[in-house]
Chain A
Amino acid sequence: MTEQPLLIAETLGKNYGARIGCRDVALEVYPGEVLAVVGESGSGKSTLLGLLSTELEPSAGRVSYRLRDGSLRDLATLGAAERRLLMRTDWGFVRQNPADGLRMAVSAGGNVGERLMAVGRRHYGDIRTEALDWLGRVEIAADRIDDDPRSFSGGMRQRLQIARNLVTRPRLVFMDEPTGGLDVSVQARLLDLVRSLVSEMGLAVIIVTHDLAVARLLSHRMVVMRQGRVIETGLTDQVLDDPREPYTQLLVSSVLAA
């Protein structure tokens, strides 16, 4: 790839007291690339995602991000205001539980429009048109725009969360088990949707999942974690078809065939 990386993590580590959350992680994400972080529960996947998205303070190492003006900045040196602006414009965060990523008491249109209003948009008609457009793109019927997400099914909530995050056209989206808890047919449609949006918008995605099938379907590259460390990285197909580490081999062989 001739492009420069969008996000670089170096010797990243996080301790919870004497316990290790994750340790010595180094990775790079390029524009338009989907990176999957896989591993069993407790392997440090979510901690790593928290560190990369600046929700957690690292105990060691640093994360750098290339801003829209092309400059590479250490995220720890950004002010709180700059960091939050980044989070609601250039980044997205799709959470496992939609209730954590949505405002459940606010209508679907308001949920999608919030980021637009946060960056200063003050024209109701325009905001609504854009919200409608995005609801259409994530396959939510236009007549549901004034319903609040409490009346939505799990799959719809997750799609709404995606629309809410993508409305400001971010360049990097973090996803934490976005398909967790959904039944397989809903999961398949959601993955399809994410895949088409990612390629259409040229999004870079860092997706945390324990589901290797999700990783295979969505990601270009893959990072395998165990006990807080990255034990194997590579192209997704390569890692899944020809795992090098014994633990990865175990992980791959543990997948249930349908």
Chain B
Amino acid sequence: MTTATLGGMPAITYNFAYLDEQTKRMIRRAILKAIAVPGYQVPFAAREMPMPYGWGTGGVQVTAAVLGPDDVLKVIDQGADDTTNAVAIRGFFEKTAGVATTTATTEATVIQTRHRIPETPLRDDQILVYQVPIPEPLRFLEPRETETRQMHALEEYGLMHVKLYEDIARHGHIATTYAYPVEVAGRYVMDPSPIPKFDNPKMDDCPALQLFGAGREKRIYAIPPHTRVRSLDFEDHPFEVQRFAQPCALCAARGVYLDEVILDDRGGRMFVCSDTDYCESRQAAGHRGEMAPPDAALPQPVSPRGEDATRVSDDASSDLSASARGRPAGAGAGAGTGAGTGAGGTEAGHD
């Protein structure tokens, strides 16, 4: 229990992690079922949360149900720890659960994410919780929920390939760049939430438990650790991830997902890691991209808190601020468009 006193007013108390225990039990049952049937969308009685739909109400409920007092929570939004959604949800659990939070992927035990998988490989003692706007991969092909459930039950997934066919017919290649459908454990076709397809291979055989929560749609689904996750494709148009021509402008990383950041109105731009923690760790380790600030301007140690996984206090936001990281202010979530993928990057899938 955490309490806050408002100048003589009665203290506001929350149950651990906001939700009452019965609700958490209900959600845990749904999670267990989801783990037992990988990729299957389990309906659950999603609650109203103190945030609007589309801001991660599903992910927050899943996180609340799996969080324990000893957990260390990390929240990312489009890969960044310092955007509104991530800061707000981290603050929410600090206040209602009093758990330790972190921005370092390696220190976290529970990571709630909106639209990215961290670049640092996950471990078997970590849980990745996705915020899902639309859990039904067949939604835009077949609007009737009664029909799509039937299709899942009978494994009728020809329609999913019709969508990919349409992509190739219109664009010459599979132009779906985010929310790219996957087949889980050789059975259910699943929407991996609007992560860029760059992240799809990370879901395959991942040691961490992956949970997906859709609050508005009231569905939970899961990928148990070390499960086969295959991105759908055609024999003559195999699945490919986005590739970037240049490395990160700040940390010189290659083979990571980059955000395009517009610098001015004369066409100036830079490509930087969308995973801010990964980028900062690399810079702290001495990696320098071509637009990296001089050494003196960098935040000194890698962990802004100086010790492992302490709570983020209010003033901690200052060392997360954009200027300290050499990133132009307001460029947090980035344009999300990979080089060579044209329009239709991650941002187009805003929930």
Mark A residues whose CB is within 8 Å of B. Answer: 80-81, 84, 88, 103, 106-107, 109-110, 113-115, 117-119, 122-125, 127-128, 145-146
Most A CB within 10 A of own CB, among B141, B159, B169: B169
Interface size on B, as a range, is 20 to 34
Contact A113 B162 (CB under 8 A): yes
In the complex, the answer to whether A122 meets B162 with C-beta atoms within 8 Å is no
Can you spell out 28 A-B residue pairs with CB atoms less than 8 angstroms apart?
A: A80-B150, A80-B154, A81-B155, A84-B154, A103-B162, A107-B169, A107-B170, A109-B165, A109-B169, A110-B166, A110-B169, A113-B162, A114-B158, A114-B159, A114-B162, A115-B158, A117-B159, A118-B159, A119-B158, A123-B234, A123-B235, A123-B236, A124-B165, A124-B168, A124-B234, A124-B236, A145-B169, A146-B169
In contact, B162 and A110 (Cβ under 8 angstroms): yes
User: Which residues from B are CB-within-8-Å of A118?
Assistant: 156, 158-159
CB neighbours of B169 from chain A (8 A) = 107, 109-110, 128, 145-146
Q: How far is the CA of A122 from the CA of B236 in the complex (A)?
A: 8
Q: Can you list the 9 inter-chain pairs with the closest CB atoms, starting with the nearest?
A: A118-B158, A117-B161, A124-B234, A117-B158, A123-B235, A81-B154, A110-B162, A146-B169, A114-B162
A40: shortest Cβ distance to chain B, in Å?
Answer: 33
Q: What's the minimum C-beta distance from B239 to chain A, rounded to whole angstroms?
A: 12
Which A-chain residue is minimally distant from B235 (CB atoms)? Answer: A123
Chain B residues lying within 8 Å of A124, measured Cβ to Cβ, are 165, 168, 234-237
* A113/B165 in contact, CB under 8 A: yes
User: Which chain A residue shows the least CB distance to B168?
Assistant: A124
User: Contact check: which of B156, B165, B166 meets A84 at CB < 8 Å?
Assistant: B156
Partner of B161, one of A80, A122, A125: A122
The minimal Cβ–Cβ distance linking B240 to chain A, given in whole angstroms, is: 14
Q: Say how far B183's CB is from chain A's closest CB, in angstroms.
A: 12
Number of A-B contacts (CB under 8 A): 55
Q: Report A-chain residues with C-beta under 8 Å of the C-beta of B156.
A: 84, 118
Question: Considering only CB atoms, which chain A residue lies closest to B150 in the complex?
Answer: A80
Measured between beta carbons, the chain A residues less than 8 angstroms from B233 are 122
Q: Smallest distance from the beta carbon of A57 to chain B beta carbons, Å?
A: 15
- Write out the residue numbers on chain B whose beta carbons fall within 8 Å of the beta carbon of A106: 162, 166
Q: In the docked arrangement, what's the CA distance between A119 and B155, Å?
A: 11
A233 to B177, CA, bound (A): 58
Are B162 and A117 touching (Cβ within 8 A)? yes
Instruction: Say whether B154 contacts A122, CB under 8 Å.
Output: no
B284 to chain A, nearest CB (A): 46
Residues of B within 8 A of A145 (CB): 169
Kindly provide the distance from the CB of A219 to the nearest chain B CB, expressed in whole angstroms: 32
Identity of the chain B residue whose Cβ is nearest the Cβ of A109 in the assembled complex: B169
Say how far B155's CB is from chain A's closest CB, in angstroms.
8
Contacts of A110 in B (CB 8 A): 162, 165-166, 169
Q: CB distance A125 to B158 under 8 Å?
A: no
A115 and B150 CA atoms in complex are apart in Å by: 17
Please give the distance in Å from A252's CB to the nearest CB on chain B: 42
* Whole-angstrom CA separation of A131 from B234 in the bound complex: 16
Q: Which residues of A contact B161 (CB under 8 A)?
A: 117, 122
In the complex the two chains form, is A117's CB within 8 Å of B165's CB? yes
A119–B166 Cα distance when bound, in Å, is: 18
State how many angstroms separate the Cβ of B141 from the closest Cβ of chain A: 8
* Chain A residues within an 8 Å CB radius of B235: 122-124
Interface residues in B163-179 by Cβ distance below 8 A to A read 165-166, 168-170
Which A residues are CB-close (under 8 A) to B155?
81
Distance between Cα atoms of A84 and B159 in the complex (Å) = 14
Looking across the interface, which residue of chain B has its beta carbon closest to that of A79? B154
